[in-house]
Amino acid sequence: MYEEMDKTYVLHTYPRNYVNFKEGRNATLFDEKGRDYIDFTSGIGVVSVGHGNARLANVIYEQAKNLIHTSNLFLIEPQAKLAKRISELSGMDVGVFFANSGAEANEGAIKLARKYGQKHFKNKRYKVLTLEHSFHGRTITTVKATGQSSFHKNDFAPYPDGFSFHDQIKNLLSAIDDETVAVMIELVQGEGGVQPLDKKAVKELASTLKEKGLLLIVDEVQTGVYR
Ligand SMILES: Cc1ncc(COP(=O)(O)O)c(C=O)c1O
């Protein structure tokens, strides 16, 4: 019944498996027939504290029954507290940008890189280089940043300029030209098949970019928050 409802009313952008999960406890899921599953998918790698986490549920409940949304136009006390905590835990001198999704986080990083290119280079560098088999999101820009041609369907054309992908870090480095402002990588490629990058090559990439005054964007959407 719900499968039919889904097929009739949901706009389908994903192939879907019709298992109907009704309950979750930590890493175990139960479908409508009570069958249990170990959740290795973990919401595509994002359910860091498991299902039915009482502490998380209570915090969400306490907030939702009070202030639900006031917008970025006003001070948001819990946001300031969380930003301070994340910044301190990171051990770096960083400001925190809160986004609704991985794609939005990457869009934000690309915008920051372009702004940096506008500000610091006379010729206003804007190009962002990425790696083959990467995945950076499903918005028009992040889909173009994604290093898989199968994602660049004509259905969504034209795409923004300034993105190219390369099969290995060595070739990424040689593709840097006088319009390049940043390189964006996943340290462990997720959609690319759980492929860790070579640590030494990443370190070399980071120091070369630093020498040139260019930016390294690390997409930690899959690997962040200690996952
Ligand atoms: C490495 C990486 N970046 C970005 C994204 C996009 O995240 P979201 O689906 O939250 O927009 C994903 C999603 O799987 C991802 O794996």
Task: Identify the pLDDT of residue 85.
Answer: 95
Token digits of residue 7: 């097929």
User: Closest ligand 1 atom, CA of 190?
Assistant: 16
Q: Are 134 and 185 in contact (CB under 8 A)?
A: yes
CA–CA distance, 141 with 127 (Å, rounded to integer): 12
Q: Ligand 1 centroid vs 193 CA: distance in angstroms?
A: 14
Task: Identify the pLDDT of residue 46.
Answer: 84
CA angle 47, 53, 56 (to 5 degrees): 90
Q: What is the pLDDT of residues 88-102, one digit of tens each?
A: 998 988 899 999 999
Domain ranges of the chain: 2-68, 70-98, 99-218
Residue range 2-68, CATH number? 3.90.1150.10
Residue range 99-218, CATH number? 3.40.640.10
Kindly state if the Cβ of 113 falls inside 6 Å of ligand 1: no
Q: What is the pLDDT of residues 123-140, one digit of tens each?
A: 999 999 999 999 999 999
**Which residue CA neighbors atom 7 of ligand 1 most closely?**
102
pLDDT band at 116; cut points 50, 70, 90: very high
Q: Ligand 1 centroid vs 142 CA: distance in angstroms?
A: 9
User: Closest ligand 1 atom, CA of 103?
Assistant: 11
Q: What is the pLDDT of residues 29-70, one digit of tens each?
A: 999 999 999 999 888 888 989 999 999 999 999 999 999 999
pLDDT band at 227; cut points 50, 70, 90: low
Which mutation among 128, 135, 138, 189 tests ligand 1's pocket best, with the greatest number of atoms within 8 A of CB? 135
Which mutation among 133, 222, 225 tests ligand 1's pocket best, with the greatest number of atoms within 8 A of CB? 222
Arithmetic mean of pLDDT, 5-11: 96
Q: What is the pLDDT of residues 154-178, one digit of tens each?
A: 999 999 999 999 999 999 999 999 9
Q: Are 216 and 205 in contact (CB under 8 A)?
A: yes
Kindly state if the Cβ of 136 falls inside 6 Å of ligand 1: yes
Q: Does residue 74 have a pLDDT over 80?
A: yes
Sign of the Cα pseudo-torsion (221, 192, 138, 47, in order): negative
Provide the ipTM. Answer: 0.99
Kindly state if the Cβ of 130 falls inside 6 Å of ligand 1: no
Q: Does residue 226 have a pLDDT over 70?
A: no
User: Closest ligand 1 atom, CA of 106?
Assistant: 4
